[in-house]
Amino acid sequence: MDIGFFSYNTEYGIRADDLARELEARGFESLWVGEHTHIPASRETPFPGGGDLPKPYYHMSDPFVTLAMAAAVTKNLKLGTGISLVVEHHPISLAKQVATLDHYSDGRFLFGIGGGWNKEEMENHGFPFNRRWKILRERVEAMKAIWTEEEASYDGEFVKFERIVTNPKPAQTPHPPVYMGGATDMSLKRVARYCDGWMPIDVLLRDPEAMVAKMREVVSEEGRNPDEIELSAFCQRARDGDALKKFRAAGFTRAIVGLPNRNRDEVLKFIDGYIGLGEEIG
């Protein structure tokens, strides 16, 4: 089982480039960071995790800038967004950012995406929250056209452009893999329709084997081979060895372990506790 780590990527935590070097030196597979462009001070949307919104959410650095820093100091470590809020970006600009990062990292970028939960944050970017899933799908489809076509066009409800040329193209063919977060029935349909992988968070994985079976059923109904969907468990709470073994038994091939938001020495000590675990799990 491949093991990667998620960092809140705050300016008061361990730097992404420092963390990336340490992860690669220890033989881990990947580094993942999240995204919030801002948190509205007048936010009314409740935090899905319950209680007050944790401090790191107010301090997340830009994921693409920091992953570029991480790419510059590593050779093999994969670099992922967990997750990118695609609706908060213009698709042509975001396609350029992703392609550039993938190109200069020699094909190491993993594009985790989601619809987001913070209504006020989303609507500050000029789009209705209740249409975010349609917007997300159009933007992903449009970006795929940009990444794979010499002259790309797209004609949707929210995204429209005709015969544009943009380079560089991503290093990965046909493009960096797209992973969807979420574990609802509709999330599974989105995985089946336009994603390459599924990365649900552990709090929604109460019965991993049953949920993987459901995912495979939905993907098959869309006419795709479920064996082609890469499964990553996003482990924020269930991150001990027994939990990871349970996810692996269900078919997950990657665990993305949430790092504690502590100082550098404490973070590295936490990481060291996972050395060799991936090989042990198998």
Using DSSP, state whether 152 is helix, strand or coil: strand
- pLDDT tens column, 116-130: 999 999 999 999 999
Distance CA 211, CA 209 (A): 5
CB 36 within 8 A of CB 60: yes
Res 205 pLDDT > 90: no
Res 282 pLDDT > 90: no
Res 266 pLDDT > 90: yes
pTM metric for this prediction = 0.97
> Would you place residue 49 in the very low, low, confident or very high pLDDT band (cuts 50, 70, 90)?
confident
- The pLDDT assigned to 164 comes to 98
- The pLDDT assigned to 139 comes to 98
> Would you place residue 190 in the very low, low, confident or very high pLDDT band (cuts 50, 70, 90)?
very high
- pLDDT tens column, 231-263: 999 999 999 999 999 999 999 999 999 999 899
- The pLDDT assigned to 242 comes to 95
Q: What is the mean pLDDT of residues 17-37?
A: 98
- The pLDDT assigned to 115 comes to 94
Res 206 pLDDT > 90: no
- Considering Cα of 138, then 251, then 29, then 168, what sign does the dihedral take? negative
Domains of the chain as residue ranges with CATH: 2-129+175-281 (3.20.20.30)
- The pLDDT assigned to 252 comes to 98
- The pLDDT assigned to 56 comes to 96
Res 105 pLDDT > 90: yes
- The pair of structure tokens assigned to 119 is 């209504």
User: How far out from the chain centre does Cα 29 lie?
Assistant: 14
- Sequence-distant (6+) residues with CB within 8 A of 111 are 80, 81, 84, 98, 176, 177, 178, 179
Tell me the percentage of the chain whose pLDDT exceeds 90: 95
> Would you place residue 204 in the very low, low, confident or very high pLDDT band (cuts 50, 70, 90)?
confident
DSSP type of residue 44: -
Q: What is the mean pLDDT of residues 152-160?
A: 98
